[in-house]
Structure 1
């Protein structure tokens, strides 16, 4: 008789947890809603993991010279199977004594291979100082924040490309 009673209590306890036990209408709806929301939230977290876990920014490739608008690219790498949301790469606040880039535009990374993207950085105004600071921030949902600072040293027009 003891085992049957324990089974009944266990079944009632499981029904309480799942919100399937017959209770007065007032209590059931609130409890069921809370449990449904909790279960749904856990399912969403399990089915929607962070899209970016490990990300790296490479060396900047500068294509412009003194007196020209900025045109540069930075390679971005991800682990295999990861994807990059559209607006994760942005300019970061600059706090150096070097000249600051105004009207800076960072385009959405373009995929150039498996796990490899290219981020284009540009300005519309010409650059008149020989050195600038560029700070990029990769801030994606569910991933750690990455900030990388670069010093851009512009060559004079007509100088050979190294």
Structure 2
């Protein structure tokens, strides 16, 4: 079973629509999480802004919800991330990518399903996630993985291929923050 099966596991399900509708900033969610645990969601904020949030929050970070990849309003770095993902897939997983590109691109298509683990790997290696990892390191955490939900491809005449998914970053504490 995947660690973040839906927004409910993060305790932010009802808050997702608030995130989409509100201004850009990192948002802290405590919800129904046990003890001092919390999650963060990105509302279009740069990774550099994460430093202040992590320094001011007490408790244990459970994970980070990035939102939908294609929604530029949720992630200021979404265009660069799309390029990073596509370049990584072209370099490391060209056959999987080509198979998915020749398919209908919907989330139930077997070629798209087969591409999903490589897509998550590509997100993990993107510059945006690397920036988040640097901020996390200063707070005693590290990125351990990426999970996606509702992954599919968008193929347009002018924009080319774009990837869409709800994205989560898994984290773990590596040391107690100073």
TM over 0.5: no
Q: Which has the higher helix share?
A: 2
1 or 2, which has the higher strand percentage?
A: 1
TM superposition score category, shorter chain reference: under 0.3
Who wins on radius of gyration, i.e. which is larger? Answer: 1
Q: TM-score, normalised by structure 1?
A: 0.24
